[in-house]
């Protein structure tokens, strides 16, 4: 497993591996183009996860997602049964999960370094819980931290939603979209729209306290509707645990004691520019 995380961490920023949008099609890309970059993570997944499942699977009582993927692949006609049908979704689970959480964590730490007063307000809130470790159960007791996390997403985590295909010709606000065209939403266009947000270019940590009407519907990081990201709740849980316990245990500041440039580099996701931080253990 360590090898898999190492490989995936080194591929961040490469367009193919950096996007969960194409995860389920990794096998097809690999087969048609011979992309060698996928060989090592595929081999690790196969050796460490899939092969042991094949050896111990009870086809009448599947234990987990990997067993289900094996059974699903075996349900296809023989000419459609490929190892990639199992490996590609697993790689996608790892990469999409690492991507969505790691980017928010990076932005959270940077923004906290630039806003020490916000850090201390979060610390004041969570320290009142009198706990050595903040758990998911504490989320409803930390409204300010919850608001900060949503504002970090709105302020800097721009991405592209999964593309959809237009079923017919349509015109939207003067733009003609032909049938069959791929359509996606760039979330930053919504997150920075003055029609929806007061002073959108400013980081306002208490913007989401009380969940003002309409605000939550515009946080489209995970998509919307029945096809939104299946890992949304897990990602939110991980982000909450990481950010709350970082503030509980450390003070975060810039290594230069200067304000860090927080303008984003936009690829498939907006990511911070290179910077360095100092974590000071709270006493």
Q: Which residues are annotated as a binding site for heme?
A: 229
User: How far apart are alpha carbons 128 and 153 in whole angstroms?
Assistant: 25
> What are the two backbone dihedrals, phi and then psi, of residue 208, each rounded to the nearest 5 degrees?
-100, 5
Binding positions are: 229
Q: For residue 181, count other CB atoms closer than 10 A to its CB.
A: 13
* φ and ψ at residue 133, rounded to 5 degrees: -145, 130
Cα 183–Cα 189–Cα 195 angle in degrees, nearest 5: 120
DSSP structure class, residue 162: P
Query: Residue 203 corresponds to which tokens in the numbers above?
Result: 């980081």
Question: Could you please report the per-residue DSSP string of 133-181?
Answer: S--GGGGGG-HHHHHHHHHHHHHH--BBPPPEE-SS-EEETTEEE-TT-
Task: Write the DSSP assignment of 264-278 as a string of letters.
Answer: PEESSBEEPPS--EE
Cα–Cα dist 128/143, whole Å:
13
Dist. CA 10–CA 7, nearest whole Å: 5
**Tally of CB atoms within 10 A around 280:** 10
């Amino acid at each position: 497993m360590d090898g898999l995380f190492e490989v995936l961490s080194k591929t961040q920023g490469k367009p193919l591996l950096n996007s969960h949008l194409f995860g389920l099609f990794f096998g097809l890309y690999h087969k048609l183009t011979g992309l060698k970059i996928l060989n090592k993570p595929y081999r690790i997944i196969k050796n460490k996860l899939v092969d042991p499942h094949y050896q111990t699977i009870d086809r009448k009582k599947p234990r987990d997602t990997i067993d289900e993927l094996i059974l699903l692949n075996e349900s296809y006609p023989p000419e459609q049964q490929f190892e990639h049908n199992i490996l590609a979704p697993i790689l996608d689970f790892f990469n999409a999960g690492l991507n969505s959480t790691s980017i928010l964590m990076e932005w959270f730490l940077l923004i906290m370094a630039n806003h020490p007063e916000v850090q201390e307000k979060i610390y004041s809130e969570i320290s009142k819980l009198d706990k050595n470790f903040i758990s998911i159960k504490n989320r409803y007791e930390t409204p300010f931290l919850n608001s900060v996390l949503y504002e970090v997403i709105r302020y800097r985590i721009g991405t592209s939603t999964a593309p959809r295909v237009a079923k017919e010709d349509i015109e939207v606000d003067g733009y003609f979209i032909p049938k069959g065209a791929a359509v996606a939403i760039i979330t930053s266009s919504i997150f920075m729209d003055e029609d929806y947000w007061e002073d959108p270019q400013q980081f306002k940590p208490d913007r989401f306290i009380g969940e003002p009407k309409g605000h939550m519907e515009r946080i489209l990081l995970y998509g919307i509707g029945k096809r939104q990201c299946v890992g949304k709740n897990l990602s939110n849980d991980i982000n909450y645990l990481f950010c709350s316990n970082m503030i509980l245990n450390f003070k975060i500041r810039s290594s230069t004691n200067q304000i860090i440039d927080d303008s984003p580099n936009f690829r498939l996701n907006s990511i911070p520019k290179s910077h360095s931080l100092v974590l000071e253990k709270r006493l």
